[in-house]
Amino acid sequence: MAVSQLPAALVERLCTQLGPENVVVEGDQLEEISRTCIPYRQYPAAAVYPCSVEQVSELVKAAAEYNVPVWPVSTGKNWGYGEKIACYPGGITLVLERMNKIHFVDEELGYAVIEPGVTYQQLSDHLRESGSRFWSDSAGTTRFASVLGNALDKGRGLTPYADHFGCLCGMDVVLPDGSLLETGGGPQGNNEVRHTYKWGVGPYMDGLFVQSNLGVVVQAGIWLMPEPEQFDFAVFEYTAPDDKYGAFIDDMRELVFQGALRSHPHIANDFAMMCILSQYPFELLQGARSLNAEGAETWRNKQGVARWTFAAGLYGSREEVKFQKRTLKRVLGKYGILRFLGAVAKDNWYGALWRVAARWGNRLLGKSDDLYQLLDPSINLYRGVPTDYFVRQAYFKSHDEKPMEDIDPARDQCGFVWIGPTVPFSSRHVEKSLDLARALFTEYDFDFFVEVIIESARSVFLLAGVFYDRNDPDEEARALAWYEAMRETFVAHGYPPYRATTMSQAQALDTNPVARDVLAKIKESIDPANVIAPGRYGTPLRVDTSD
């Protein structure tokens, strides 16, 4: 590992401002901090861990004085998108995980004000232990991801509050000159609605700091979901012929429009489900690099997995949940098997009875007990309770088994990368996008992993990913080539990704030069030295990081 070093005077200044325990310049520690799952890597010259807004402000001013770029991250748990690495070598990685205060939760109006180091687990525990009547939505990644970090990269959850960016309201932002901006459009320091009314007066400013490099968000309001009167949980398995899939997609859209489907499920293909349930069946490869149709079918039958599967939460009054169940049965019954299993989560004799029935029901249907093990973490996610269960799939090909605790795919050198094109929610577009993706998986010889994530009644995300061996340079190069081909192909067809990995952020707006240039002008006006995260999401990439 070879990176440029920071000026000694700057290191001394950082140690004085932040404390030496919060400044990392040693090569072995930087190597571990910079581990990533994606087929791309850069190393910083230093990593710093501020504990206060004042320290962030002083750091930004010092970096600007020495002309050193700063790459902010929250906890860096966005596995498969870039983790803590920047899109350039050198500079300072600004890790905000030690700024982890929950300033307060407003139980009347349903929002929390938190710092970027607050994790899903921390917020969920706080709400539960305080007896709150609110839930916090959680991404399906890890319990220890940042609530604000995920929202600032437009990440998603599964409950009706799945739009994490949409739930942000009112930010404190350290600007490139070190000053502190309060968004919300009202009087600074005296705006009672900055966390309850998104739009404020004048231009909407919160959006300028999402997927951007115009400042460092150090605090924000996040809206919480009121616990519903009744909750239930549904599991659906698609068993209809392939030629009915388009009609199924169109009916799913109408369920969302009608309010019968209020959660935001991931419709996972068979391979995506099998990654969760078991380890990769290398014995079925027969010398190939990916499973052929026969091998995939053998594996699918062994696990008892349908071609497409999704889970969903049902929320509302008793009457509303009855309507949702009745409508889902009527519509989805045409396409497969629908089961309601919310009773499994009840902590009483009734729940215990349902757990036994669900386990034996799976066995009678020829399914593995591993499918039963999915119930608790799945139900919890749809109630806003975070879990590490699903991110364990990152280990299914690179390790002999999935760990149950201390899960960190980047540290453990799991190789995988995600891309999520945004697609109109219609059978014509969804089937076209699946065909595009399937062809590229075949061309680059990777197993077809895809989830259709319901973003709204009008759009879905087509989450696709490949798993590769980080210790095999040829396979890593093939994974990178697959990613670039996916990105270029889907953009060319009008399906841009909803978020970008670090390795593609600098080119994120190249196909929209007017938008790119407008943002570049804004960037130049408030950050003329291009100090904060150069290259992030299409704004100018600074290549000179020398002393």
Gap between the Cα atoms of 164 and 458, Å rounded: 17
Rounded distance between C-alpha atoms, residue 464 and residue 479, angstroms: 12
Three-state DSSP state, 236:
strand
pLDDT at 348: 62
Which residue(s) pair with 230 in the sheet? 316
d(CA 11, CA 103): 31
Query: Which is it for the CA torsion 136, 82, 38, 5, positive or negative?
Result: negative
Q: Which helix (H) or strand (E) holds 372?
A: helix 369-373
Beta bridge partner(s), residue 92: 46, 70
* SS3 state of residue 269: strand
What are the helix (H) ranges across 99-214?
120-129, 147-152
Burial class of residue 256, CB neighbours in 10 A (0-12, 13-18, 19+) = buried
Q: What is the pLDDT of residue 141?
A: 87
Overall CATH class of domain 410-500: alpha beta
Name the fold adopted by 8-95. Answer: 3.30.43
> Within 13 Å and on the Cβ side, how many CA atoms surround 522?
16
Does 3.40.462.10 match the CATH number of domain 230-387? Answer: yes
At residue 83, the pLDDT reads 96
Contact call for residues 235 and 329 (beta carbons, < 8 A): no
Beta strands in 422-498 (DSSP E): 422-424, 450-454, 459-468
- What region does 448 belong to: left with phi over 0, alpha with psi -120 to 50, or beta? beta
Type of residue at 28 = D
Pairing mode, if any, of strands 308-316 and 230-238? antiparallel
CB 507 within 8 A of CB 538: yes
pLDDT at 546: 44
Q: State the pLDDT at residue 538.
A: 85
Q: Where in the chain is the domain with CATH 3.30.43.10?
A: 8-95
Count H helices, E strands: the chain? 16, 19
Helix (H, G, I), strand (E, B), or coil: what is residue 308?
strand
Has this prediction a pTM greater than 0.75? yes
Place of tokens 């190249």: 510
Rounded to 5 degrees, what angle do the CA atoms 147, 151, 154 make? 150
Distance CA 486, CA 480 (A): 10
236 neighbors 338 (Cβ within 8 angstroms): yes
* Angle, CA 377 vertex, CA 374 and CA 381 arms, to 5°: 130
Q: Which segments of the chain belong to CATH 3.40.462.10?
A: 230-387, 410-500
Strands, E assignment, 215-282: 216-223, 225-226, 230-238, 266-269
Averaged pLDDT, groups of 10, the chain, 547 residues long: 78 96 94 96 96 97 96 96 95 98 98 98 97 95 95 96 97 97 91 95 94 97 97 96 97 98 97 92 92 91 91 97 97 96 66 57 59 80 94 93 93 96 98 98 97 98 96 95 98 97 94 94 95 92 54
Query: pLDDT value at position 545?
Result: 42
Fold of 102-226: 3.30.465
Asked if 123 and 136 touch (Cβ cutoff 8 Å), the reply is yes
Cβ contact 491:413 at 8 Å: no
What six digits make up the tokens of 343? Answer: 């009773």
Query: Where exactly does CATH 3.30.465.10 map onto the chain?
Result: 102-226
Sign for the pseudo-dihedral over CA of 348, 354, 356, 359: negative
Euclidean distance between CA atoms 224 and 103, whole angstroms: 15
Residue whose structure tokens are 């901006």? 181
